[in-house]
Structure 1
């Protein structure tokens, strides 16, 4: 009997390993370990357990699915096993929030951008992340407004030679006019950063879990814009829609684009969904070389728990 169990376990392990992507096995990944709390791909809470002790994971494999991996003990997968009272973490519902922001959409239909200048209000969620003191701000990363006070960006943008990010600029499509300027000098909304929240699994120099949130304070006193409008309003987090074969748009100012969004637009309601956060590439805009984005849908339970 033990021999049969060993063969079954070996067969399951073979199937499981064959289904893993190269990235999941790459050295330097940040893992959770047996007994740790976790969230699976669907957002259900669970405990990291050996795969042979998780009936839910074994059933997923039999049905062609892929369990959420926590780590390995030798060659044995430790998976996120939903508990009997599994729940998704509390947080704002994505769809009702997006419905509120749809009312702020401009009256033109956005177009796919392929290396051309964006129109005013075309990407109202686009944020620039600033470093340095007031009066000499250096805008070196991008981000996406996802609520009235949070900006989604890359975790590596929380560290720079100029220190941590101190400012968020919203509502300005011409960054070159704002390099080195005071928050009170130009149009747009400049918000101070009051809290920086990296993903707990981000451990540089590894590039895994390269995602973070910035909490903004109120806009500086003399800005023209101070509320959500056609020029400034949040994008959506990915819903349960199927984005396969959809054309995605990457936006930025051509310098300091890390942390910026990879997005798709729903033409019927003009709302953007943020699919990815710009993480890294091979040099800067290197020809015929891919860019790498952090997949936002994998981190929604964490985002909504903040």
Structure 2
């Protein structure tokens, strides 16, 4: 049986399998062919590769109605095989969207009477990404519990899957009450059990990416209407550096004002925005072209300038700025 040559490079999204010397082009043999997703590429970066593994192995909703078909055509002129991929969407009934990567943070001496005052994002089997200011709260002390798989804030907390916090890690340059470097990690004592309702998010981690996220989403618990307490997704637009610097001038918690290197701000210029309903530490997320199956986390909610008015904006810690620090702890 003839052995097929390795994949050597890509033409757009199509991997090219070459019969010639692969050393003259970038070696991208770490490609995962999953029949329910598009091609997934391992790059050697820890955050990227863990996301690839998660998307490949776990039950993200997008995989329920997707099938990828691969074709192979030999090109005699280049002496290469060209591998094509066609993604087909099958007519199946999809379940309601699940914001399965959200976690709530609990405080107090008893898990059954804990106060759930902040939020975070599941990013691995044992780690939650959150805001550093959430690690300790006045009057209630340090965060002690993590709840996941939450669809409605008004559900009895006894129904939520909960985990004890083993380790609390603030960014080493975080100095409260300042909101610079407002990012932290929580390690759970037990491994988080993944399911369709509880899944890790990906991190926007490629420093060379030119992808622009003009819009992104936040998660809020509805405080109005007939479905109070339900989790919903709200779309915000990105403000540019000049606008953010106007929204966030120097003050007590931002001595030098807005920092474009480590912060981003999103909001709505047309009408009231629900950022005032966000929990500190909750994710700002978007769909990346690299990982369309899972949310990519762009930011961590730090605080909002105003609440419920046109032009409201939320300030978020820029996750990509902190990827080396996150990787050194979560995937060391």
Normalised TM-score (structure 1):
0.58
Could you tell me whether the CA contact under 8 Å between 1:167 and 1:193 is conserved in 2?
Answer: yes
Could you tell me whether the CA contact under 8 Å between 1:121 and 1:171 is conserved in 2?
Answer: no
Structure 1 match to 2:280: 258
Structure 2 match to 1:112: none
Bigger fraction of residues in strand: 2
CA shift, 1:286, in A, is: 4.9
Q: Secondary structure at the match of 1:250?
A: strand
Structure 2 match to 1:3: none
Of structures 1 and 2, the one with the larger relative CO (CA 8 A, separation 6+) is 1
Q: Secondary structure at the match of 2:168?
A: strand
Distance 1:269 1:289, change over 3 A: closer
Higher alpha-carbon deviation: 263-272 or 201-210: 263-272
Higher alpha-carbon deviation: 144-153 or 131-140: 131-140
Cα deviation code 1:251-294 (max 9, x no counterpart): 13265610000001247742111100000113544542211000
Measured in 1, the distance between the counterparts of 2:278 and 2:217 equals 17
Could you tell me whether the CA contact under 8 Å between 2:219 and 2:278 is conserved in 1?
Answer: no
Structure 1, gaps ≥5 residues long: 1-90, 110-118, 220-225
Distance 1:274 1:257, change over 3 A: same
Cα deviation code 1:10-65 (max 9, x no counterpart): xxxxxxxxxxxxxxxxxxxxxxxxxxxxxxxxxxxxxxxxxxxxxxxxxxxxxxxx
Higher alpha-carbon deviation: 199-208 or 238-247: 238-247
Q: Does 1:176 align with 2:154?
A: yes
Measured in 2, the distance between the counterparts of 1:286 and 1:151 equals 31
Measured in 1, the distance between the counterparts of 2:96 and 2:115 equals 22
Measured in 1, the distance between the counterparts of 2:189 and 2:310 equals 39
Measured in 2, the distance between the counterparts of 1:260 and 1:120 equals 21
Structure 2 match to 1:18: none
Structure 1 match to 2:195: 229
Q: Does 1:123 align with 2:99?
A: yes
Distance 1:258 1:285, change over 3 A: farther
Measured in 2, the distance between the counterparts of 1:195 and 1:265 equals 30
Could you tell me whether the CA contact under 8 Å between 1:121 and 1:230 is conserved in 2?
Answer: no
Matches within 5 A, 1:32-47: none
Could you tell me whether the CA contact under 8 Å between 1:197 and 1:212 is conserved in 2?
Answer: yes
Structure 1 match to 2:84: none
Measured in 2, the distance between the counterparts of 1:245 and 1:278 equals 16
Q: Secondary structure at the match of 2:321?
A: helix
Q: Does 1:289 align with 2:242?
A: no
Structure 2 match to 1:142: 119
Could you tell me whether the CA contact under 8 Å between 2:285 and 2:296 is conserved in 1?
Answer: yes
Q: Does 1:95 align with 2:48?
A: yes
Structure 2 match to 1:56: none
Q: Secondary structure at the match of 2:128?
A: strand
Measured in 2, the distance between the counterparts of 1:286 and 1:201 equals 33
Matches within 5 A, 1:57-76: none
Could you tell me whether the CA contact under 8 Å between 1:121 and 1:232 is conserved in 2?
Answer: no
Could you tell me whether the CA contact under 8 Å between 1:140 and 1:257 is conserved in 2?
Answer: yes
Measured in 1, the distance between the counterparts of 2:322 and 2:213 equals 22
Could you tell me whether the CA contact under 8 Å between 1:236 and 1:273 is conserved in 2?
Answer: yes
Measured in 1, the distance between the counterparts of 2:323 and 2:54 equals 19
